[in-house]
Amino acid sequence: MSARHEPVDKILASGGDLGRIASELEHVPQAFPRRVNADPEQVERGLAQLVLTLVELLRQLMERQALRRMELNTLTDDEIEQMGETFMKLEQRMQELKEHFDFEDRDLNLNLGPLGNLL
Amino acid sequence: MIHLYGLVQGLDDLPDLRGVDGAALERRRIAGLDVVVSRSTRELGEVTHDAILVHANVVEELMSRSRAVLPAQFGRAFTSEEQLTEAVQTKATALERGLTRVRGCVELGLRVLERGSRTDESTGLSGSDYMRTRLAEATERDRFSQELHGPLAALSRTSTRFGGASGDLLQAVYLVPEEQIEAFREHMNRIEGAHPELTMVCTGPWPPYTFADDREESHERSA
């Protein structure tokens, strides 16, 4: 092993559509602390990005918790139906808002440290 | 400012490289441990890609010349020799344990993306159907992820899984004894052959950054 490896030297094995992974590298600068763009023209979009990211984080956390409770059989059929409808509507609404602000999933991504990325 | 690259065992000579800000590499012996640093007259410099790569290159070169390296993450800097000495002395036992943990091993990283099987079309589903579909997908994802991870973890001294919150099927790092790297690569090739539908990339060998901290209890121990 020597220093100054070319990136390809560090790929031990790979397969499939590597473009899916490579395209994320364009967003590497987002690993640095996120800031709201204060440009008046952009501030609404920047705030929307921040808010939607947090909403998506909470939505996913709540859904995972609900699935876990389903697995443990601690939810009644009515509760499952009610939660399912809520999560479905929330997901659909999020989709509409992403389209409205022209965001892709990766625009709402967050690095959660040891938990990995949000999306 | 003193920039720390890592702790080493069995290093004969320092590599012929300049450190961050072009500073010469130096070696210190503190509490029986060999520490590699460089000194800079500047305050902690700006975090740039170049500075990070310089740090990474130094650590990689140390890895190739030593029996064991406990790499420091970029930006671990101290304002004085006393501060560095105190930091190492305070953690000497844990650092020694860390060197033992990583000796003869490298870090390999693996990322496997979802197969895209998630049912995005939820229109017309009842709430219960939606939840059951999501649960079935999550259960299958966990089962398949473990099927991929288990044999690789068995080839490793220890491993850590990430990605509990992400859409990745599996994101993990493995501390692999050097003599097992080829077996690890062969197993990866078998996975690739058996699952051409998966997008995956396995990278390394890297210095054991993930396993440098004394969090052994949080890693999954294997071989």
Q: What is the pLDDT of residues A69-101, one digit of tens each?
A: 999 999 999 999 999 999 999 989 999 998 998
pLDDT over 90, % of chain A: 25
Cβ of A115 within 8 Å of Cβ of B164? The answer is yes
Reported as a single tens digit per residue, the pLDDT across B177-222 is: 999 999 999 999 999 999 988 899 999 899 999 998 865 444 554 4
Q: Which of A46-50, B37-41, B62-66 is predicted most confidently?
A: B62-66
As a whole number, mean pLDDT of residues B71-99 equals: 92
Measured between beta carbons, the chain B residues lying within 8 angstroms of A83 are 127, 131
* pLDDT tens, residue by residue, A23-37: 766 655 554 445 556
Task: Return the SS3 of A49.
Answer: helix
CB-based burial, B64-98: b 16+ in 10 Å, e otherwise: ebbebbbbbebebbbeeeeebeebbeebeeebbeb
Q: What percent of chain B has pLDDT over 90?
A: 65
Closest CA of chain B from A30, distance in Å: 14
The answer on pLDDT for A60 being more than 50 is yes
Q: Distance (Å, rounded) from C-alpha B211 to C-alpha A116?
A: 16
Q: Do B135 and A71 touch (CB under 8 A)?
A: yes
Q: Name which residue leads in pLDDT, B163 or A9.
A: A9
Phi/psi of residue B130, each to 5°? -60, -50
Token pair for A116: 């990995």
| pLDDT of amino acid A111 | 63
What percentage of chain A carries pLDDT values higher than 70? 70
Minimum CA–CA partner of A20 in chain B: B199
More confident residue, B157 or B113: B157
**Cross-strand partners of B212:** none
Question: Which among B134, B142, B198, B209 is the top mutation candidate for probing chain A, defined by the most A β-carbons within 10 Å of its own β-carbon?
Answer: B134
Strand runs labelled E in chain B: 2-9, 25-30, 33-39, 68-71, 77-78, 105-113, 158-162, 168-177, 200-206, 220-221
Q: For residue range B101-113, what is the model confidence (pLDDT) as tens digits?
A: 999 999 999 999 8
- B-chain CB neighbours of A93 within 8 Å are none
pLDDT above 70 for B223? no
Residue B51: predicted pLDDT: 87
**ipTM of the complex in this document:** 0.73
Q: Taking CB atoms and an 8 Å limit, are A16 and B128 in contact across chains?
A: no
Burial of B143 (0-12, 13-18, 19+ CB in 10 A): exposed
Identify all chain B residues contacting A18, using CB atoms and an 8 Å cutoff. 199, 201
Instruction: List the domain boundaries for chain B.
Output: 2-102, 105-221
pLDDT (0 to 100) of residue A2: 43
Q: Do B166 and A14 touch (CB under 8 A)?
A: no
Question: Residue B200 is nearest to which of A16, A85, A92, comparing CB atoms?
Answer: A16
Question: B158: buried, middle or exposed (CB in 10 Å: 19+, 13-18, 0-12)?
Answer: buried
Percent above pLDDT 70 for chain B:
87
Instruction: Note the pLDDT of residue B12.
Output: 85
**Pair B101, B93: CB distance under 8 Å:** no
- Partner residue opposite B127 with nearest CB, options A2, A3, A83: A83
Contact B202/A92, CB-based, under 8 Å? Answer: no
* Cross-chain residue pair A11–B202, CB shorter than 8 Å: yes
Q: pTM score > 0.90 for this model?
A: no
Question: What's the confidence (pLDDT) of residue A1?
Answer: 42
Is the pLDDT score of A103 beyond 90? no
- Give the model's pLDDT for residue A33: 47
Cβ–Cβ gap B198/A15 under 8 Å: yes
> Of A10, A82, A117, which is closest to B203 when you measure between CB atoms?
A10
Closest C-alpha to B106, from B73, B148, B53, B69? B69
Mean pLDDT, rounded, for B116-134: 78
Candidates A17, A66, A116; nearest CB to B165: A116
**Whether B163 contacts A117, CB under 8 Å:** yes
pLDDT at B45 > cutoff 80: no
Pick the CATH number of B105-221 from 3.40.50, 3.30.70, 1.10.287, 1.10.3470: 3.30.70
CB contact under 8 A, B122 and A119: no
Q: What is the mean pLDDT of chain B?
A: 88
Domain coordinates of chain A in residue numbers?
Answer: 40-115
